Amino acid sequence: MIEFTPWPKCFADLYRQRGYWAGRPLSAVSEQGAREHPDAVAILCGERSFTYKQFDQTASRLAARLAAAGLGQGDTALVQLPNVAEFYVVFMALMKIGVAPVNALYSHRQTELSAYADQIGPRLLIADRANSLFADESFHKQLIAKGTIQLSLMLNDGNSDRDLGSWLSDGPNLTCAFAPTPTDQVAFFQLSGGSTGTPKLIPRTHDDYDYSVRASNEICGVSAATRLLVALPAPHNFLMSSPGALGVFLAGGTVVLAPNPQPNICFALIARHGVTMAALVPAAVGLWVQLAEEQGPPASLAHLLVGGASFSETLARKVPTVLGCRLQQVFGMAEGLVNYTRLDDPDEVVFTTQGRPISPDDEVKIVDETGKPVPAGMPGQLAVRGPYTFRGYYRAPEQNCQAFDAEGFYYSGDLVMRTACGNLRVVGRLKDQINRGGEKIASEEIEHLLLRHPDTRQVALVGYADENLGEKSCAFVVAGREMRASELRRHLIGLGIADYKLPDRFRFVDRLPLTAVGKTDKRQLRITLQTATA
């Protein structure tokens, strides 16, 4: 079994008793679909479509072959796939045999993948030959040299014996029963947006995740008629479970895959497949609104979920008027808690708040720096515990001491306030993180990487406002000699990090301002940037 911090027994008992934790493994999602509506279309991906029966059978075939290769409960996998049907097939296969994956983002590179591999020690690697990271064998060999990987399967690997496609398509339809997975154990790891030097992993159990999906479906009105466009990265919690692809599979609807949220690509897919629902970050909503202003709204789209970053009221109001669909705001986190505005909320609530928690047993407190609740209507830090909010990052005791209080509340680092009608509004952030159009950058991670350059002395990464992305990043650097930004960009690219983490700007300075206690004064740096960009 994979170690993780479980919920204390009294909470686990309560969550079971209230029916949240239903003892259902996540593999039931595709199995139920295959039983109840075998011929309905589960996934549309390019020119390919998978019925529920095909989806589940393909997942079973892969599961059986992985089991025959010796993989099973307690093992972990590192998976990096683009937005393709295989992503869900692999996920379901792993759920069937109880192998817990980390689903890396497709934009992640050596630094992120190595960090995940070091943390979980995967026995299985599933990646894409078409990703430049795996175009040759060098990085693959580095991963293998870590000593845990026993099997690698590659998408787009031609005729090789480790081509994922042939593992999925060859061989008989196996209907073998797999040993039931204990549902109170880790199903997979979600990725944390992070605020520390190394990317952290979030263990999610079958019980807690299944509940968040089921409850999201009810709140968002997902049904067999729902056709959801998945245009943001498929592994992101928003697109997995809020209500995401898993919600749609559970309801017997159809997931339509898009390679990215570009409006011209997405509008064409919406028209072609009669997409009814989409989930976007605010930056993408801005682009969709622009295109809809020119050529009219995508006709079949009835429902847009928006979350992941701060959403302006002005843009929110354009969702019904310009995109011609109903808006639902989502404030969620991979660590657990998800808030939604409700479908019957008045416009004012939908346009100006980020909604309220999924569960009556989500305990949200809003506190000051000393941990005391702030008076109603005042901003404070968000702390939460509940039936689908995790109790600890994977193998990160120090971070867990900082992120949790003694009662098991998780501090998300968000500043929020509760409105008079009980909804949350996100008003700021305490964590040292930059939210670049919904993609999260832990400042410390990039600062550490910049400091690995022999000629950097001190570094601070801060965010600044950007009209399109909400925020961009600027690295302030004290260097030991004259330097150019391009040199540091090359240094970071050489280390291998996701593109979105590359600083948008570099500022070379003689010294960094300090606070009274001698820490880098990032507030001061942000002010410097604001005045420079004003």
CA torsion 412-332-444-395 (nearest 10°) is: 70
> Taking the complex as a whole, how short is the minimal distance between the CB of residue 393 and ligand OOB, in angstroms?
12
Rounded distance between C-alpha atoms, residue 306 and residue 531, angstroms: 30
In terms of CB distance, is 205 or 528 closer to ligand OOB? 205
Residue of the chain from 76, 83, 237, 528 that contacts ligand OOB (CB under 6 A): 237
Contacts to ligand OOB from residues 31-90, by CB under 6 A: none
> Taking the complex as a whole, how short is the minimal distance between the CB of residue 165 and ligand OOB, in angstroms?
30
**Straight-line distance from the first to the last Cα atom of the chain, in angstroms, rounded to the nearest whole number:** 54
> Taking the complex as a whole, how short is the minimal distance between the CB of residue 364 and ligand OOB, in angstroms?
13
Report the DSSP beta bridge partners of residue 51. 41
Q: Which residue has the tokens 């911090």?
A: 5
Residue of the chain from 20, 106, 178, 238 that contacts ligand OOB (CB under 6 A): 238
In terms of CB distance, is 207 or 471 closer to ligand OOB? 471
Written as six digits, the tokens of 337 are: 């808690």
Contacts to ligand OOB from residues 331-350, by CB under 6 A: 331-334, 338
Amino acid at 455: D
When CB distances to ligand OOB are compared, the closest residue is 332
In terms of CB distance, is 65 or 356 closer to ligand OOB? 356
Query: What 3-state class would DSSP assign to 51?
Result: strand
In terms of CB distance, is 352 or 458 closer to ligand OOB? 352
In terms of CB distance, is 329 or 399 closer to ligand OOB? 329
Residue of the chain from 354, 389, 423, 520 that contacts ligand OOB (CB under 6 A): 354
**Does residue 414 interact with ligand OOB by CB under 6 A?**
yes
In terms of CB distance, is 300 or 352 closer to ligand OOB? 352
Query: What 3-state class would DSSP assign to 438?
Result: coil
In terms of CB distance, is 82 or 470 closer to ligand OOB? 470
Say how many residues make up the chain.
534
Burial class (CB in 10 A: 0-12, 13-18, 19+), 100: buried
Rounded distance between C-alpha atoms, residue 341 and residue 352, angstroms: 10
Contacts to ligand OOB from residues 301-330, by CB under 6 A: 307-311, 329-330
What string marks each residue from 429 to 468 as x (binds ligand OOB by CB under 6 A) or -?
x-----x----x----------------------------
By DSSP bridging, strand 433-436 and strand 470-479 are unpaired
Residue among 115, 29, 41, 31 nearest 80 (CA): 115
Contacts to ligand OOB from residues 152-211, by CB under 6 A: 193
Number of Cβ within 10 Å of residue 348's Cβ equals: 12
Contacts to ligand OOB from residues 358-377, by CB under 6 A: none
In terms of CB distance, is 163 or 439 closer to ligand OOB? 439
Residue of the chain from 60, 242, 254, 423 that contacts ligand OOB (CB under 6 A): 242
Q: What one-character-per-residue DSSP string does 343-380 give?
A: TTS-HHHHHH---EES-TT-EEEEE-TTSPBPPTT--E
**Does residue 235 interact with ligand OOB by CB under 6 A?**
no
Rounded distance between C-alpha atoms, residue 383 and residue 365, angstroms: 5
Contact positions toward ligand OOB, by CB under 6 A? Answer: 193, 237-238, 242, 307-311, 329-334, 338, 354, 412, 414, 426, 429, 435, 440
